[in-house]
Chain A
Amino acid sequence: MGSLDLSQLQHLWWLLVSVVGALFVFLTFVQGGQGLLLTIARTDTEKSLVVNSLGKKWELTFTTLVLFGGAFFAAFPLFYSTSFGGAYWVWMLILFTFIVQAVSYEYRRKPDNFLGAKTYEVFLFINGTVGVLLIGAAVGTFFTGSNFSLSEYNFVTWEHPGRGIEAAFSLFNLSFGIFMVFLARVLGALYLNNNIEHEVLIERTRDAAFKNLLLLLPFLLYVLYRLLVMDGYAVDPATGVVSLEKGKYLSNLLAMPINGLGFLLVGLVLVVWGVVATRFMASRKGIWFAGLGTVLVVLAVFSIAGYNNTAFYPSKFDLQSSLTIGNASSSHYTLATMSYIALAIPFVLAYVWYVWSLLDKRKLTEADLFVEGSDEKY
């Protein structure tokens, strides 16, 4: 690790952050499922099945989000300080939706829970929609830019009174956010379809996956179209000067035929295939195709945002304050040290995978909810 130069380490850490981000988006099937809860589960039993199925995984998603934040802090601290401190309100609102999510599974059905089951279900819905939408809008600013300037000491001043909320009012960011909400719902439906053994729910999740894919398409197409034609924030590798370049993201896609264009196209095809196979071929494994597809799409999005001399967190207020993986990163020593720590990631992924395959060996059934000493606690 120590033998890698700073630029290589920065590229490596952008990849690692991207991987964590991609896994997080895949795991938003939990949020998507929460968004579907009020529509696909109509009886108490159905509701319990859905909540118990999602309830086992919510923490994994949550922890991945926390790691995503931690990895950004560790590897690109200038992004952490600029974006979190600057776009204050958007992050605060996102966090609020995750606070209320964290207690909802545990408290929803418990006696004397103060707010009533319905409130906790609404909390889950808010997290599954508003939370995901705002995260999408925040990621959208990787391409549309934000309004901030940095002092000579790299201290941020946010130059818009919305303090981040303005991001949600850009058509591109909003479309990106809505796309993410529907993608999460597609994934949620496919996950539940795979995880629960219940005839009615299998049928409904099958339909829900397909419907949400249709709803997702216009937003996806708009986002893709804009990405291909919009001006991008290019950085001159020799001088570090940031400038607007026509069709920058299109040229990034083409410049990275594997992790750019390739991942994007293959990823989208896999997502669509996951849904089609579920809807029309009665497959129960759609989540794996769509999940892998989602990971690839997010990796492509991060690649074109950060690689190939691009500013990943541009400032439209002051171009030269824009953040690149070169100017926002930690030092060589820290990145190298953390790279040794990151060697543990495959091991972590392996035991997470092993444990879940063990726990999910048997699908969740109605009978599981009522047996003596049941594990189904939600």
Chain B
Amino acid sequence: MLEQLDVSQLNWARAQFALTAMYHWIFVPLTLGLSFLLAFFETLYVKTGNEQWKRITKFWMKLFGINFAIGVATGIIMEFEFGTNWSNYSWMVGDIFGAPLAAEGIFAFFLETTFFAVMFFGWNRVSKNFHLLSTWLVAIGSNLSALWILVANGWMQHPVGMAFNPDNARFEMQNFWEVLFSPVAMSHFVHTTSSGFLLSCLFIVTVCSWYLLKGRHVEMAKKSLAVACTFGIISAAFVGFTGDESAYVAAQVQPMKLAAMEGLWDGEINADLVALGIVNPAKKPGDDQDAFQIEVKIPYLLSLLANREFGSFVPGVNDLVYGNPEQGVMGAEEKIVLGKQAIHQLALYKKAQENNDDVVAAAALAAFSEHQDYLGYGYLNSAEETVPNVPLVFYSFHMMVVLGTLFPVLFAAILFFLYKKNLGEQKWFLRLGVLSVFLGYVASQSGWVVAEVGRQPWAIQGLLPVSIARTNLTTTTVQMTFFMFLIIFTTLLIAEVRIMTKQIQNGPEGE
């Protein structure tokens, strides 16, 4: 379809999308989680009538509002960038991707926006209960919008419920429910939203630890912490369970991603799990170099986690690139051959249609149908292109897991000290608490690196590589917009952080 590929343009387009997505993801998790925390705080206010809960709600709401505005600003770019920078992709998947996006707009955005206004402007204009309902609806609306966009993302990771239409060269939806309830979509949704909850709890831990270290707003800080840490522990449990589920699903539908996450180059029966390690950055597919410079392994665990069965085979990068007939693994090399046949037959079909030659068209279509599952592979030049950046994915994955394990311990310890009524005395621990949201961000952003870098080179797994998905733009054009985004987002981020810090320094009104 595109004869010449400008690799540097592709990389800039990817960089621009990554930049936008990573900036967006600084603000979204806080929106997802803080919205529920606000609902908890306000519920406590309405139930107990204690004015301090109202002050607590209003304080966190102010920070929520500051964060929300910039989340919206980065969000609009995300939506339109599919069209501006990935227009071929937009055409090819619009029939599927569009429906969740429309649902997101209709169901979630207006819920969020409308009741957001009540939440902020309605304290003196609507009843207490209606206000509380609005706060809950903002939380539900925010998280519903995450549902639909993650359904779309889940579909890209594991395309289901659709068929390729050779007449207009696009994928068309056949079953909405299959798209909505795809196992990847569901595990992504719960994993992502609960990780957002967790991060918001860490945000509260950071702010309140700072207050306690300074000896300011002590009561408010303790109350906030009690709620946030309880929510944090529950969220961490969800993050853990769905993280396991995500890895399991990846093993089934994106085995290359799992191999990269684990730095597994040669598949094994009873594969070990690398708990910690330093990967060999020079390692390439098919060579004999060691995969790791240092590694700490847990025997057999990877087979159990990937297939939920001891003694099972987990394919490595080399199996997936070159094939392993013994284990029934078809390699990318073979898929590329089949994919090229599919492309060839598709071109024949189009030509025959132009010439009104029904017989040739039917034969070409039949031949195309046989290999269409490998269509995307036909656009690759070498099997090695199917390997993502293994060190980046490996480190990101391990960083996420290690930190993800640490956070529930942190929450539990805070609750323990609160129970013992001596949290304020644990100076060293509170200093760690101040750092916690930054660690949370490292974990959270790493998660997206695993999900998105881990599936390269695919825009749609196995069907559409990013090189075909992109818009036909010059490198200079994309570079210009990349730097425009970089400058504007960084400027706004600085403004946001300064405003937020100032508000935190000021503390809740009337305290």
Interface residues, chain A, with chain B CB atoms under 8 Å away: 56, 59-60, 62-63, 65-67, 69-71, 73-75, 77-78, 80-86, 88-89, 91-92, 95-96, 98-100, 102-103, 105-107, 110-115, 151-158, 163, 330-331, 333-334, 337-338, 341-342, 344-345, 348, 351-352, 355-356, 358-359, 361-362, 371, 373-377
- Extra A-B contacts (13), CB below 8 Å, given A59-B72, A86-B87, A358-B118: A56-B121, A60-B114, A85-B88, A92-B84, A96-B484, A100-B73, A102-B70, A112-B501, A113-B498, A330-B172, A334-B173, A341-B106, A345-B106
Given contacts A62-B72, A359-B118, contact A73 B83 (CB under 8 A): yes
Residue from B72, B102, B498 within 8 A of A102 (CB atoms): B72
Given contacts A70-B101, A74-B94, A355-B117, contact A114 B498 (CB under 8 A): yes
Q: By the criterion CB–CB under 8 Å, are A155 and B491 in contact?
A: no
| Stretch of B123-131, B207-215, B356-364 lying at the A interface | B123-131
Against A, the Cβ 8 Å flags (1 = close, 0 = not) of B57-89 are 000001001101110111111011011111111
Q: Does B451 contact A (CB under 8 A)?
A: no
Q: Cα distance A92–B84 when bound, in Å?
A: 8
Most chain B CB within 10 A, of A85, A91, A342, A359, is at: A85
Residue from B98, B107, B110, B499 within 8 A of A352 (CB atoms): B110
- Report whether over half of chain B's contact residues are helix, strand or loop; otherwise say mixed: helix
Q: Cα distance A374–B125 when bound, in Å?
A: 11
Q: Does B310 contact A (CB under 8 A)?
A: no
* 9 chain-A/chain-B pairs, Cβ below 8 angstroms: A59-B72, A67-B109, A78-B94, A81-B91, A84-B90, A85-B83, A154-B91, A154-B169, A330-B95
Q: Cα distance A83–B124 when bound, in Å?
A: 45
- Report whether over half of chain A's contact residues are helix, strand or loop; otherwise say mixed: helix
Q: Cα distance A305–B82 when bound, in Å?
A: 25
Q: By the criterion CB–CB under 8 Å, are B99 and A60 in contact?
A: no
Q: By the criterion CB–CB under 8 Å, are B83 and A341 in contact?
A: no
Q: Does B269 contact A (CB under 8 A)?
A: no
Q: Cα distance A22–B224 when bound, in Å?
A: 44
279-298 of chain B: CB within 8 A of chain A: none
Q: By the criterion CB–CB under 8 Å, are B101 and A155 in contact?
A: no
CB distance from A321 to the nearest CB of B (A): 13
Q: Does B481 contact A (CB under 8 A)?
A: yes
Q: Does B116 contact A (CB under 8 A)?
A: yes
Q: By the criterion CB–CB under 8 Å, are A66 and B109 in contact?
A: yes
Q: Does B193 contact A (CB under 8 A)?
A: no
Given contacts A112-B498, A352-B110, contact A163 B477 (CB under 8 A): yes
Q: Cα distance A98–B95 when bound, in Å?
A: 27
Given contacts A70-B104, A80-B83, contact A359 B98 (CB under 8 A): no
Q: By the criterion CB–CB under 8 Å, are B80 and A84 in contact?
A: yes
Against A, the Cβ 8 Å flags (1 = close, 0 = not) of B474-487 are 00010001001000
Q: By the criterion CB–CB under 8 Å, are B102 and A338 in contact?
A: yes
Given contacts A358-B126, A361-B125, contact A111 B91 (CB under 8 A): no
Q: By the criterion CB–CB under 8 Å, are B94 and A91 in contact?
A: no
Which 7 A/B pairs are nearest by Cβ-Cβ distance? A77-B94, A85-B87, A84-B83, A74-B98, A102-B73, A67-B105, A74-B102
427-483 of chain B: CB within 8 A of chain A: 471-473, 477, 481
Q: By the criterion CB–CB under 8 Å, are A77 and B121 in contact?
A: no
Q: Does B103 contact A (CB under 8 A)?
A: yes
CB distance from A96 to the nearest CB of B (A): 7
Q: By the criterion CB–CB under 8 Å, are B496 and A103 in contact?
A: yes
B89: nearest residue on chain A (CB-CB)? A81
CB distance from A308 to the nearest CB of B (A): 24
Q: By the criterion CB–CB under 8 Å, are A73 and B82 in contact?
A: yes
Q: By the criterion CB–CB under 8 Å, are B101 and A152 in contact?
A: no
B179: nearest residue on chain A (CB-CB)? A337
Q: By the criterion CB–CB under 8 Å, are B76 and A98 in contact?
A: yes
Given contacts A105-B69, A331-B165, A377-B120, contact A82 B95 (CB under 8 A): no
Residues of chain B contacted by A333 (CB below 8 angstroms): 172-174
Q: Does B15 contact A (CB under 8 A)?
A: no
Most chain A CB within 10 A, of B68, B87, B95, is at: B87
Q: By the criterion CB–CB under 8 Å, are B105 and A66 in contact?
A: yes
CB distance from A317 to the nearest CB of B (A): 15
Residue from A70, A102, A359, A373 within 8 A of B126 (CB atoms): A359
CB distance from A73 to the nearest CB of B (A): 5
Q: Cα distance A91–B481 when bound, in Å?
A: 11
CB distance from A361 to the nearest CB of B (A): 7
Given contacts A59-B113, A153-B1, A334-B172, contact A375 B98 (CB under 8 A): no
Q: Cα distance A66–B113 when bound, in Å?
A: 12
Residues of chain B contacted by A85 (CB below 8 angstroms): 83-88, 90, 471-473
Against A, the Cβ 8 Å flags (1 = close, 0 = not) of B23-44 are 0000000000000000000000
CB distance from A195 to the nearest CB of B (A): 12
CB distance from B62 to the nearest CB of A (A): 8
CB distance from A156 to the nearest CB of B (A): 6
Q: Does B492 contact A (CB under 8 A)?
A: yes
Q: Does B168 contact A (CB under 8 A)?
A: yes
Q: By the criterion CB–CB under 8 Å, are A66 and B106 in contact?
A: no
Q: By the criterion CB–CB under 8 Å, are B98 and A69 in contact?
A: no
Residues of chain B contacted by A63 (CB below 8 angstroms): 105, 109-110, 112-113
Q: Does B495 contact A (CB under 8 A)?
A: yes
Q: By the criterion CB–CB under 8 Å, are A344 and B173 in contact?
A: no
B116: nearest residue on chain A (CB-CB)? A59
Q: By the criterion CB–CB under 8 Å, are A334 and B473 in contact?
A: no
Residues of chain A contacted by B414 (CB below 8 angstroms): none
Q: Cα distance A153–B349 when bound, in Å?
A: 12
Residue from A60, A70, A373 within 8 A of B105 (CB atoms): A70
B471: nearest residue on chain A (CB-CB)? A85
Q: Does B97 contact A (CB under 8 A)?
A: yes
Residues of chain B contacted by A153 (CB below 8 angstroms): 1, 88, 169
Residues of chain B contacted by A71 (CB below 8 angstroms): 102, 105
Q: Does B7 contact A (CB under 8 A)?
A: no
Q: Does B371 contact A (CB under 8 A)?
A: no
A105: nearest residue on chain B (CB-CB)? B69
Q: By the criterion CB–CB under 8 Å, are B88 and A155 in contact?
A: yes
Residues of chain A contacted by B503 (CB below 8 angstroms): 110
